[in-house]
């Protein structure tokens, strides 16, 4: 019987040799030079990022690529004069594009990541960095080899709360941290599953470069529901683990300077709305880390009372980080971070409230494109958080605990 290997998988997705390329040099930009940006994938998130990058001084958006031509008009309203493509390759061929923002669906991230670097452009790549572990390894190697500036769309890496948490942890206020608990919760009206989007009337085969969307997945007739609702299906998505857990695990790994998890478990299922989705809406993940630490993450789409947050539990103190809103993009008003001493080990310690301001994640990327410094969410945290997320999903799909070594040996299946 034919047993596919990781090499077969990378060949099928067209990613086989990308990491071995010779990378062209980046254009050297002065402090006052305009940064010319292209975008791949300008759907919901892409529209937000278009607004964000337009707000950064001395940036020009020159071109966008999206397989669904219905996206072009909305983008032109924000950035008049842009050139539009229904394939990312001609955009990458353009000499007047210095840097590229990728906000396409998860299953195309590695393709867009590798092609952008191979074209000699700097990159802002939405999370999760890749759809699979072999792709994450390929992208990490390519980023290191290419020397391009890579910022991952893990915007919490630029948050003031993370700076506060790092400082308190470095100062030893928490003592030995053995457990971290995180959660995220959302809710929707009965009968309206989280994430489900209406398919626009102009989302037709004539208006969509369908084979570019499939990106190596088995060929089939045009399916507008899958194009618009790719998040619900394993072959394009990693569900809520790659949509949201990835933000929180990256934040915790950065705060505590954690290496990759040694093992993962995950249970749950499609409990909230049985609407044909494949990815679970109710989830309990446990990640095991070296040096005596476990991290748990719970998520539900049927109750939003507790919003989203983390408890970092140390022998000498606790960090409580929370958002009253579960919206990772617009929830600013609810965020808080506090430290509470454990009186048994820190009897005279004072409670603290974090006050550090957030940095502009997009502005940080553009700044690094000019200065060649390392951005706040570099490829390494993109890689680490992607591996952690994929380990959890692999454990769920195998219905058993999985170690890092076992997860790395898995050949992805669509
Ligand atoms: N950082 C954050 O807080 C945050 C928030 C939301 C979404 N995201 C991420 O942004 C990405 C996009 O999510 P979304 O909600 O905008 O999805 P979306 O479906 O609204 O947008 C994706 C766009 O990519 C286009 N596309 C599909 N295949 C393509 C291809 N091969 N080449 C070019 N364009 C292609 C689609 O037509 C669509 O317009 C995802 O990775 C998601 O996880 C990040």
Residue 331 is predicted with a pLDDT of: 47
Distance in Å, CA 224 to ligand 1 centroid: 15
pTM of the model: 0.96
CB atoms within 10 A of CB 25: 7
Length, in residues, of the chain: 414
Distance in Å, CA 90 to ligand 1 centroid: 19
In the sheet with 122-125, reading across from the earlier edge strand, the strands are 83-85, 59-65, 35-40, 99-102, 122-125, 150-152
Q: Supply the residue whose CA is at minimum distance from atom 18 of ligand 1.
A: 43
What's the sign of the alpha-carbon dihedral 277, 278, 282, 288? negative
Q: Per residue in 142-171, pLDDT tens?
A: 999 999 999 999 999 999 999 999 999 999
Averages of pLDDT over runs of 10 residues in the chain (414 residues) are 75 66 80 94 98 98 98 97 98 97 98 97 98 97 97 98 98 98 97 97 98 97 98 98 98 98 98 97 98 97 94 98 62 80 97 97 98 97 98 98 97 89
Residue 2 is predicted with a pLDDT of: 65
Residue 18 is predicted with a pLDDT of: 52
H-run or E-run covering 223: none
| Ligand 1 neighbours by CB, cut-off 6 Å | 40-46, 65-68, 71, 88, 103-106, 108, 126-127, 153, 155, 212-213, 215, 243, 328-329
Q: Supply the residue whose CA is at minimum distance from atom 1 of ligand 1.
A: 153
> Residue 160 region, left (φ>0) first, then alpha (ψ -120 to 50), else beta?
alpha
Residue with tokens 């369908």: 210
Three-state DSSP class for 27? coil
Residue 330 is predicted with a pLDDT of: 47
Residue 17 is predicted with a pLDDT of: 56
Q: Which of 45, 84, 128, 239 to mutate to test the pocket of ligand 1 (most atoms within 8 A of CB)?
A: 45
Where does 261-403 have alpha helices with state H?
361-371, 379-398
């Amino acid at each position: 019987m034919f047993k596919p290997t990781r090499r077969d998988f990378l060949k099928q997705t067209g990613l086989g040799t990308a990491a071995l390329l010779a990378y062209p040099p980046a254009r050297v930009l002065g402090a006052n030079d305009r940064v010319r940006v292209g975008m791949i994938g300008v759907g919901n998130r892409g529209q937000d990022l278009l607004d964000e990058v337009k707000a950064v001084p001395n940036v020009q958006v020159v071109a966008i690529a999206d397989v669904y031509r219905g996206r072009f008009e909305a983008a032109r309203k924000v950035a008049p004069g842009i050139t539009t493509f229904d394939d990312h390759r001609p955009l990458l061929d353009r000499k007047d594009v210095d840097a590229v923002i990728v906000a396409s669906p998860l299953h195309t991230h590695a393709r867009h990541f590798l092609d952008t670097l191979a074209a000699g452009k700097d990159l802002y790549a939405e999370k999760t960095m890749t759809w699979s572990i072999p792709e994450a390894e390929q992208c990490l190697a390519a980023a290191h080899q290419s020397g391009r500036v890579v910022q991952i769309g893990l915007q919490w890496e630029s948050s003031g709360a993370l700076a506060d948490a790092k400082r308190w942890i470095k100062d030893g206020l928490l003592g030995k941290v053995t457990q971290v608990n995180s959660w995220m919760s959302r809710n929707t009206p009965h009968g309206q599953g989280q994430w489900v989007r209406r398919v626009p009337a102009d989302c037709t085969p004539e208006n969509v470069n369908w084979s570019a969307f499939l990106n190596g997945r088995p060929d089939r007739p045009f399916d507008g529901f899958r194009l618009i609702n790719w998040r619900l299906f394993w072959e394009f998505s990693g569900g809520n683990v790659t949509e949201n857990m990835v933000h929180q695990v990256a934040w915790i790994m950065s705060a505590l300077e954690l290496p990759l998890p040694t093992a993962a478990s995950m249970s749950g299922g499609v409990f909230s709305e049985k609407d044909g989705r494949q990815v679970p809406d109710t989830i309990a993940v446990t990640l095991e880390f070296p040096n005596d630490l476990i991290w748990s993450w719970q998520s539900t789409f049927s109750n939003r009372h507790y919003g989203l947050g983390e408890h970092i539990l140390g022998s000498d103190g606790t960090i409580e980080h929370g958002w009253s809103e579960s919206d990772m993009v617009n929830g600013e008003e609810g965020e808080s971070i506090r430290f509470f001493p454990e009186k048994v080990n820190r009897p005279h310690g004072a409670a603290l409230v974090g006050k550090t301001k957030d940095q502009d994640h997009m502005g940080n990327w553009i700044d690094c494109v000019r200065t060649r410094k390392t951005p706040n969410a570099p490829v390494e945290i993109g890689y680490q958080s992607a591996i952690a997320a994929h380990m959890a999903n692999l454990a769920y799909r195998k219905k058993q605990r999985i170690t890092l070594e076992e997860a790395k040996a898995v050949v992805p299946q669509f």
